[in-house]
Structure 1
């Protein structure tokens, strides 16, 4: 009995020792797990903080872009400021702003203990940004590039964005007034008023018809008049007085339009410049900072044929100098890249004109013959005229370069002036170019791109931009082709884009515009009945989406404008948190 009890006591002591080992082992495991959990928690917390800082730095970079946009909105010329020592946009013609209250800490490149950044409002200094400006493409495209770097929690992130002025070419169709040009319709000056501001119903309002298919965004400062038309893009107007979000009128007997991108909505009036004279400075040689690569100036009636091989053929008898200095001009010069003035073979005034390769991203400006004797392109009365001011038949009054064509009756009120700043253009473009006229632009044939991905053309008439459509005295069309194609961004500053003799003759097919149209007054291109074209052209307008991101060289902008972001990319951080470049 005593032996059995002793054996049981020894077994119990052995069990207790084993249990102790198990308890110690479990305790160790629990301690390890607790340690792992603590380490994981700290790691997660650190990662969470890192993620927060990463996101905050990106938000700060965006805040920098928005802050810079606000400065441009306040001062559209603010693009001239930046830090010329910045790595991004090297070679940009920028300077640091000076003067009381003009210092911008976002332009700072200070490093180390002196590193300064602009503070994101509302962040109590926890989020900051700085930015660098690239204006190397501004003169040719109107685009300002910005690299904005945000700083938060010791983390930096950078974003590059392209900013472009918002203007006429943001729309396939832009109109200031939805009436026919009073200079052509005979309407009184009192008609030059928006419908929503009380314009008389007797004025010559032009409507979108059932045959119209507008394949792009539309804006009118006026109230749109729509009769069964189809709009693929957004439609907005400056009419803020209508209710229900429908800012257009529907004439009696018409059905509402089809709006594939939503009902029309209000958007503020966009100011139209009064002249395209700003583009004339692009042919001056005395502005090397603003005009490093001058274009070409022509005087009087000028014909321009664009050739698919990249050359142009220009006929301009009244041109004496293709570049000038001063405003008003006081001296002139000639450049091989603009053709040689004169009437000799292969020169601008010859019967065949001059063929040459124009400057890259050229601006051609065609001016009226100057009235001032101090202007280098002035023709003294005693100097023999370079051409006879006759039409193509050699007898009727004309402009000396083929207009009016033989048998043509020139439209009343818009004769072909020999010394007027009119340009007559057609052909196939290889490259990028803007052609502007102090008077009229006439599109005399198809205008097409050789490469629709890279070529770009701007047509800017101070007065009307005409689609040439000559008729004889009986009203019969003289052109025998059908249809007309225009690849271009078109702007008539003071008047209209219109088909010549739109209500005369027989149907001319379809007018296809691939680009954008902007005008002060609506211009008719044809007449129709029940969706069928009776005279002139049917419309086929297609927006060139590239115009959202770029523009023809030196294309005009509205008198008031904002800069919008066209593209942006996330890029490796440009700066470390201490302000040094990475």
Structure 2
């Protein structure tokens, strides 16, 4: 049996894993894993499926623990997957439905409807995916500056940044020329709510479980052992009367980040104004006091745990947690889908002695099993796309 090579066949793909980022105790990877770079593993994370690498491996797992860390066999060296240069091909699909927006764009997924607030507009427009976005792609263009001087420059009205959260009913790919920020709050509402109303991004009519009958509960059932095949399995199931076919792609030219600090009208607790933030050189002298003298207390908008149902693609950047090394420890990132990134980025820091996280999140990444045969709309493919053998056996060739 053969199939076409795709990034989304893995739960996790990276071009470069960096020099100081590790898989460690408390991290879980439920699905095929691949890095084009160097795989770095220590302590006792859990890999429930195949693990492959292309450049090398820094494996500090004790020999006695390997069978408990690599549950589908030890890592293997394989060919690299070629990364594209950008996501501009997706713009062509968005243009067909007039779904190209310029500058900062806030998107809230509300079932089949997509609520969009673009630029400094006071208007929130609603579009039906099934009626208005038939090519299933939204594209945001504009300034592509990725390195900001401070945490609230991300709100620049001219930047090609997307802020997104909500619940999706249908299929959609959202692409940004710069960054995508996943929030735990509806980003089309710029006033700070009293509590978090969302947990990131979820599917309306699709749920996931390690067990085919759906009896498992919580992230501990992200994988279940099939005793007959002796492999760990994952399933996509129907919920809320849906069809179980919801699928989202988030494709940024640079980074896809879980948003940590600041909000649109409130950058920090010492600067609560009534105007949406727009960086202005005229404000530079005024803001100097708040940035460097008074030292503002940042508003933390990241939830303890965050759920992300999506295929994530950071073409020239990575997936991470904004300001991962500041603040206290969070809980887990529970992701069902795929992460493809050019350079692996941090989601937290941990104690090298016991593996406990000091700041940020632990990882629980699970592959969406449907992505072996179905993909988010027009998702990017490897530049060296070809065919690979996924199963083989000898058969009796004699005719009877």
Common fold: TM-score over 0.5: yes
Q: Which structure ranks higher in relative contact order (CA pairs < 8 Å, sequence separation ≥ 6)?
A: 2
Which deviations, in whole Å up to 9, do the C-alpha atoms of 1:518-566 show, x marking residues without a partner?
Answer: 1011111011222322211111111100011110001000111114589
State the match for 1:368 in structure 2. 142
Structure 1: how far apart are the matches of 2:305 and 2:136? 28
2:55 aligned with 1:231, yes or no?
A: no
2:35 aligned with 1:220, yes or no?
A: yes
Conserved? CA contact 1:410–1:416, under 8 Å: no
Structure 2: how far apart are the matches of 1:249 and 1:421? 37
| Equivalent of 1:548 in 362, 369, 372 | 372
From the two aligned structures, give the one with the greater helix fraction. Answer: 1
State the match for 1:533 in structure 2. 357
Conserved? CA contact 1:470–1:479, under 8 Å: yes
State the match for 1:448 in structure 2. 202
State the match for 1:113 in structure 2. none
Conserved? CA contact 1:484–1:511, under 8 Å: yes
Structure 2: how far apart are the matches of 1:299 and 1:543? 32
Structure 2: how far apart are the matches of 1:236 and 1:521? 16
SS in 2 for 1:494: coil
What TM-score results when the alignment is normalised by the length of structure 1?
Answer: 0.48
Q: 1:514 to 1:480 in 2, by over 3 A?
A: closer
The Cα shift of 1:279 comes to 1.1
The Cα shift of 1:507 comes to 1.6
| Equivalent of 1:462 in 240, 248, 253 | 253
Structure 2: how far apart are the matches of 1:495 and 1:556? 15
| Equivalent of 1:438 in 157, 164, 177 | 177
State the match for 1:280 in structure 2. 91
2:128 aligned with 1:312, yes or no?
A: no
2:122 aligned with 1:351, yes or no?
A: yes
Q: 1:209 to 1:476 in 2, by over 3 A?
A: farther
Structure 1: how far apart are the matches of 2:75 and 2:143? 45
Superposed CA RMSD = 2.7
Structure 1: how far apart are the matches of 2:32 and 2:326? 30
Q: 1:250 to 1:266 in 2, by over 3 A?
A: closer
Structure 2: how far apart are the matches of 1:260 and 1:482? 28
| Equivalent of 2:69 in 245, 258, 279 | 258
The Cα shift of 1:165 comes to 3.4
The Cα shift of 1:479 comes to 2.4
Matches within 5 A, 1:490-505: 490-505=312-327
Conserved? CA contact 1:295–1:362, under 8 Å: no
Conserved? CA contact 2:258–2:302, under 8 Å: no
The Cα shift of 1:480 comes to 6.7
Structure 1: how far apart are the matches of 2:154 and 2:339? 24
Structure 2: how far apart are the matches of 1:363 and 1:422? 16
Q: 1:274 to 1:218 in 2, by over 3 A?
A: same
Q: Would you say how many aligned residue pairs link Structure 1 and Structure 2?
A: 297
Structure showing greater radius of gyration is: 1
Structure 1: how far apart are the matches of 2:113 and 2:36? 39
Structure 1: how far apart are the matches of 2:370 and 2:340? 16
Q: 1:229 to 1:480 in 2, by over 3 A?
A: closer
State the match for 1:184 in structure 2. none
2:11 aligned with 1:172, yes or no?
A: yes
Structure 2: how far apart are the matches of 1:533 and 1:423? 29
Q: 1:431 to 1:206 in 2, by over 3 A?
A: same
Conserved? CA contact 1:549–1:566, under 8 Å: no
The Cα shift of 1:299 comes to 0.5
State the match for 2:383 in structure 1. 559
